Amino acid sequence: MVYLLNYREGEFINIQNPVAIIGSNKDFILEMQIDEYDIMKISLGQKVLVTMDSYKGKVFEAKITKINPIMNQRSKTFLVESEFVQKPENYILI
């Protein structure tokens, strides 16, 4: 599924920027920014507890699926991805 088109027809495309954002409409990917001091505490498959404003008072379990080894120099963080173990109820897929 195409989630975002970054350019319109006729616009100049820069090879360093994505043309579009695509992905599955069946799964959510949670992106987290982990501080450089805490990244050593993170491992693949690790359990993550997630809260969301749209599901007040509920805690969801996820697991870490990807750790990006490159640190963002501005924020001094690493990008970590996780997936829900059990998806939230009644979430809407476009």
Q: Is residue 21 part of a domain?
A: no
**Which tokens sit at 2?**
């195409």
Domain that holds residue 39: 27-84
The answer as to whether 62 is a domain residue is: yes
pTM above 0.85, yes or no: no
Provide the CATH number for the domain around residue 40.
2.40.30.170
pLDDT digits (tens, 9 = 90+) for 60-88: 999 999 999 999 999 999 999 999 998 87
Give the total number of structural domains in the chain: 1
In terms of phi and psi (left: phi > 0; alpha: psi -120 to 50; beta: otherwise), the region of 25 is alpha
- Residues in the chain, overall count: 94
Neighbours of 62 (CB within 10 A): 21
Buried b / exposed e along 70-90 (16+ C-beta atoms within 10 A): eeeeeeebbbbebebeeeeee
pLDDT of residue 91: 58
